[in-house]
Structure 1
Amino acid sequence: MNALASSLPFAHSGVDTHAHVFERGLPLSGERRYAPAYDATLDDYLPLLNAHGMTHAVLVQPSFLGTDNGYLLQALAAQSERLRGVVVVAPDISTSELADMHRRGVTGIRLNLMEQTLPDLGAQPWTSLFDNVARLGWHVELHRNAVDLAPMIDRLLERGVRVVVDHFGRPDPALGTQDRGFKALLGYGSTGSVWVKVSGAYRCAAPGSPFVADATAQLIEHFGTHRLMWGSDWPHTQYEAVTSYGESLSALLDLGLHAEDLDSIVRKTALSFYRFDTESAAPQDASASNAALQRAI
């Protein structure tokens, strides 16, 4: 471990809960908004984890790769104890496919709905998908403008699904914590079933604003640190020139949080949520989860 990593309060078990890996030449989604013209491989990413005291990480399927999760699953196989995955799937995906992904270290699905027509999450086949997600003990990760989050969170909670909200809830950068969607998000802190990633602040904050400090303080007040998780958002797609891995982490470290709060946000909560604290969690319970899914058909 290098000098930087050894100086961090979570140096032996930090968790980066939001990163992406990809290469040029992979099949792209026809509905993509953007595709980077560079590679961001596991070999590029792991040294950053090591340098910043991160022993574990969660890989999230990037939107431009659509529902082809093959590259992400290969990365999980290469570092099965260190990594977990969040995939993007079609709502009518089969139970056998979900069970296979579970065995391979996937712990949730992502609904990346930025600039997309909102689906009716209370209708089939979505409801069946969410029921299967709940049976597996997975979660649904939401990425959408803050103003649209509440109805979707409501539908998910009705199905008994744990919810993770991306990037501070994505408030309007011009409004920050005054965004009514962000204010509505705070109300879900009392449910005990919603988590928020303090990540990607540059996607939802005006440069030089006090957003990170203000938003983090309000999220801690309403959710507690046991419902907050840090993510680097590496490789910071479309913001590569304005930030870095170290700066993303420093945005949190520089807030001067109590050591216990920082430990919870960067380590303790995520170790439990993504089942890193249970040895070989996915392989051990996969057969039982598969059987439960099959009974539900």
Structure 2
Amino acid sequence: MSDCRPPLASPSRPRYALPPGACDTHCHVFGPADVFPYAEGRSYTPPDAPQSRLAALHAHLGIRRAVVVQANCHGGDHAALLDALARSEGRYRGVALLGADATPASVRALHEAGVRAARFNFVPHLGGAPDPAVFDHVVGLIAPLGWHLCLHLDGAQLPGLLPRLRALPLPFVIDHMGRVRAADGLDAPAVRALLGLADLPGAWVKVSGLDRIGAGRRPFAEGIPFVRALVEAMPERTLWGTDWPHPNVRGDMPDDGELCDAFFLACPEDDARRQVLVHNPARLYGFP
């Protein structure tokens, strides 16, 4: 029984054509459960959203490359992720969920399959902050391979984490704009902390999860000023993603075509769009 809603069956086609080589740096694959079972003890159960549907969505949107992020519902079993990477013929990269049982050999195998980052969830509904010892263990394993961290946190947590983040020996990416609250405005402490990452060379931000920072009503226009501010502050370290199939959405289910168009409104300059959509992910994830 699923406790997540499925993505829209027929998202709109973007009004604006994405540049060649555009990359969706935050998407997931779920199941299918009869092939890739969901983890025991998971915090949510999604409807199946397999690689075939993700590939069809990207073709519909005009997206050539993608970064598939391991989902909490699959836990440490990366079989669905690895299958998606193998089917992509080099067009996808991956982000893993690693724990205390990770070893140099297991991480090397993931690297050879196309994984380039490890993700940690700090948000309460996915279990809260990770064990510091596990966090340090994973950092020690992935840093020699040139990987980075993806961090899923609530904006209010960012100021307290900054001392630790500044000491990291590898780059890190803040997912979903740190889940800041659009209602708090651009001068809120969490937003100022996020924009302040522009001064930290190893810090990146994903302008994904547009629906998650606002009131949850399409087309999520209240999030556009935040995307614009981040692109202006960190043009060479900002990434974009759909977050398909939008797990645990509480408001309107996003239309991925509208999300593409919203990014065009937030980033109207051709050069800046190409930087965020093509050049930045190519540099961070090693696309040719």
Would the TM-score normalized by the shorter structure come out above 0.5? Answer: yes
Does the 8 Å contact 1:6/1:53 carry over to 2? Answer: no
Does the 8 Å contact 1:176/1:205 carry over to 2? Answer: no
Give the count of matched residue pairs: 269
1:23 aligns with 2:34: no
Residue 60 of structure 1 corresponds to 69
Q: 1:237 to 1:133 in 2, by over 3 A?
A: same
Aligned-residue offset at 1:226: 0.9
Aligned-residue offset at 1:128: 3.1
Aligned-residue offset at 1:145: 0.4
TM-score (norm 2): 0.85
SS where residue 177 of structure 1 aligns?
coil
Distance 1:110 1:17 in 2: 13
Distance 2:15 2:266 in 1: 20
TM-score (norm 1): 0.83
1:118-157 mapped onto 2 (5 Å cutoff): 118-119=129-130, 121=132, 124-157=133-166
Aligned-residue offset at 1:87: 0.8
SS where residue 187 of structure 1 aligns?
helix
Distance 1:85 1:255 in 2: 27
1:259-270 mapped onto 2 (5 Å cutoff): 259-270=270-281
Residue 200 of structure 2 corresponds to 191
Distance 2:18 2:39 in 1: 40
1:230 aligns with 2:240: yes
| Deviation string, structure 1 residues 116-153 (Cα, Å, up to 9, x no partner) | 332353xx343232122211100110001011123435
Aligned-residue offset at 1:63: 1.4
Code of the aligned partner of 1:8: A
Distance 1:178 1:34 in 2: 34
- Cα RMSD over matched residues? 2.3
Aligned-residue offset at 1:244: 1.8
SS where residue 86 of structure 1 aligns?
strand
Aligned-residue offset at 1:221: 3.3
Mind listing any 5+ residue stretches in structure 1 that lack a counterpart? 278-297
Mind listing any 5+ residue stretches in structure 2 that lack a counterpart? 1-12
1:14 aligns with 2:22: yes
Residue 280 of structure 1 corresponds to none
Distance 1:24 1:185 in 2: 36
1:168-187 mapped onto 2 (5 Å cutoff): 168-187=177-196
Does the 8 Å contact 1:92/1:126 carry over to 2? Answer: no
1:1-297 mapped onto 2 (5 Å cutoff): 8-10=17-19, 12-25=20-33, 26-36=36-46, 38-115=47-124, 116-119=127-130, 121=132, 124-206=133-215, 207=217, 210-223=221-234, 225-239=235-249, 241-255=252-266, 257-277=268-288
Q: 1:153 to 1:77 in 2, by over 3 A?
A: farther
- Between 1 and 2, higher relative CO (CA 8 Å, sep ≥ 6) is seen in 2
Does the 8 Å contact 1:168/1:198 carry over to 2? Answer: yes
| Deviation string, structure 1 residues 194-246 (Cα, Å, up to 9, x no partner) | 111111111111247653222123213322x1111110111112339531221
SS where residue 254 of structure 1 aligns?
helix
Q: Percent identity?
A: 30
| Deviation string, structure 1 residues 151-194 (Cα, Å, up to 9, x no partner) | 43532441312100111111135425344222112111111111
Distance 2:280 2:66 in 1: 13
Distance 1:63 1:23 in 2: 12
Q: 1:183 to 1:31 in 2, by over 3 A?
A: farther
Does the 8 Å contact 2:174/2:204 carry over to 1? Answer: yes
SS where residue 17 of structure 1 aligns?
strand
